[in-house]
Amino acid sequence: MRAVIDRPIRTAVVGFGISGRVFHAPLIEADGDYSLDVIVTADPERAAEAARRYPKARIVPTPEALFALAGELDLVILGTPPATHFDHAATAIAHGLHVVVDKPFVTASAHGEELISRAADGGVQLTVFQNRRWDADFLTLRKLVRDGALGEVRTFESRFEWWRPEGFGNWRDTAVLSAGGGVLHDLGAHLIDQAIQLFGPVEDIYGETANHAPRPEGADTEAFVSLLHGSGVRSRLWMNGMAAQAGPRFHVLGSEAGYTKWGLDSQEPALAAGLAPSDPAYGVDSRDSWGVLGLDGASVPVPAEKGAYPRFYAELAGCLRGKGGLPVDPAESLQVLKVIEKIHAFA
C-alpha cells in the first residue's frame, strides 16, 4: 500500500481538451491540497494555452514522457478519449500512481474489472470523475428525496438534450463500441449513475438507440433507457444530441408531490468562461432556473443547492491523506457500464 500523502499531491493532467482544460486543471489549481505539475498535450495551440494559464506546470507531448516523470508524481488524471483509458490507467497503476479516470470509465466492463483488480493489487487508489453527482440540481433533488418532500417516489425522468446536428467532431461521433462513442455511452454514464445513486440497484433494463446523423455509420445520437430499481422506482432517461426542443432536466413524481427542473447545471459553462471555483458566484444557480415542487397550480420554487464539483477533489485528497473514502467507487461506474452494455446488446 502506498504511503499516505502528507504534502501537496503532485498531479498530472493527461489531455487538455474540454475535459482537462475546462474541468480538471481549474479544479486542481484551485485546491490547495494539490499541485499541478504536469500537463500532457501534443497539440501546439493547447500546449501554448496550458503554459500560459499554468506557468508552474511542465508541458509534455505524450503519456510516455509523463510516465518517465512518474517518480515525481502522486496522481494522474486521464482526460483523454475513453479508448485510451485502460492502457493509460494500467500504465499509471504499474508506476505506483493513483488514478482519476474521466467518465466514461472504460469501453468494456472487463477492462474496468481488470483495472480495479490491478489498483487493489498495486495498493493505489482508482476513481472515476462522475462530476454530475455534484450538479446543483442533482444535489437539490437528492435532498428533496431524502427529506421525503415528494412522498414515495414513483417515477424519475431525467434528460440531457440539446441541438447539435453537426456532432462533436471527436470520439463521441464514433460508432465503433471500442471507441466508447455515442450518446448512450457518453451521457448515459451520467444519467444512469445519477438514477442508481438516487434509487438504488437496477432489476430490469430496457433501452433504445437511434442515429439521426447524416452519416449512416455514425454513433447513436439519441437514446432512451428505462430502469426498474429494486426500490420500485421507475427511471426513464433520455439522451439526445439532435433535439430541436429540450424537455425538462428532471421530472419526478411522488405520492405527495412532483418536482420539475428545466435547464442544465451552470458549473461547466462557468468553468469554460474562466470563473474560478473559489469565486463566491461559482455553482450558484439563479432563481429563475430553480426547479418547482408541489402539485399543478400549487407549486413553489425550491432554492437550489450550490453546485460542488470541487468536492470531488476535496474528498479524493482526504482519501489520499488517509482521512476518508474515495469520492466515487469505481465499482459503481462499472455497474453503470454493464447497464450500457446490456442496452447495446439488444438495442
- Digit-coded pLDDT (tens) for 316-328: 999 999 999 999 9
Query: Torsion-angle region of residue 263: left (phi > 0), alpha (psi -120 to 50) or beta?
Result: left
* pLDDT for 176: 58
pTM of the model: 0.94
Checking if the pLDDT of 181 tops 80, the result is no
- Residue 73 phi/psi, 5° resolution? -130, 160
* pLDDT for 216: 56
* pLDDT for 347: 63
* pLDDT for 177: 58
Least confident segment among 211-225, 265-279, 324-338: 211-225
Region 293-310 average pLDDT = 97
Checking if the pLDDT of 131 tops 70, the result is yes
Tens of pLDDT along 286-298? 999 999 999 999 9
- Residue 3 phi/psi, 5° resolution? -65, 150
Tens of pLDDT along 7-49? 999 999 999 999 999 999 999 999 999 999 999 999 999 999 9
> Using 50, 70 and 90 to split pLDDT, how confident is the model at 1?
low
> Using 50, 70 and 90 to split pLDDT, how confident is the model at 330?
very high
> Using 50, 70 and 90 to split pLDDT, how confident is the model at 138?
very high
DSSP assignment string, 299-312: EEE-PPPPP-THHH
Query: Do residues 150 and 29 touch, judged by C-beta distance below 8 A?
Result: no
Radius of gyration from C-alpha coordinates of the chain:
20
> Using 50, 70 and 90 to split pLDDT, how confident is the model at 54?
very high
Query: Do residues 318 and 31 touch, judged by C-beta distance below 8 A?
Result: no
Task: Report which secondary-structure segment, H or E, holds 60.
Answer: strand 58-60
Least confident segment among 165-169, 191-195, 297-301: 165-169
Checking if the pLDDT of 3 tops 90, the result is no
Cell digits for 245?
Answer: 426542443
Q: What residues form DSSP beta bridges with 294? A: 258, 299
Distance CA 161, CA 322 (A): 40
Q: Mind listing the domains of the chain with CATH numbers? A: 9-129+312-325 (3.40.50.720), 132-308 (3.30.360.10)
* pLDDT for 196: 98
Asked whether the CA dihedral 81, 272, 314, 54 is positive or negative, the reply is positive
Mean pLDDT taken over the chain: 93
Tens of pLDDT along 79-130? 999 999 999 999 999 999 999 999 999 999 999 999 999 999 999 999 999 9
> Using 50, 70 and 90 to split pLDDT, how confident is the model at 178?
low
User: b/e string for 218-231 if b means 16 or more Cβ within 10 A?
Assistant: bbbbbbbbebebee
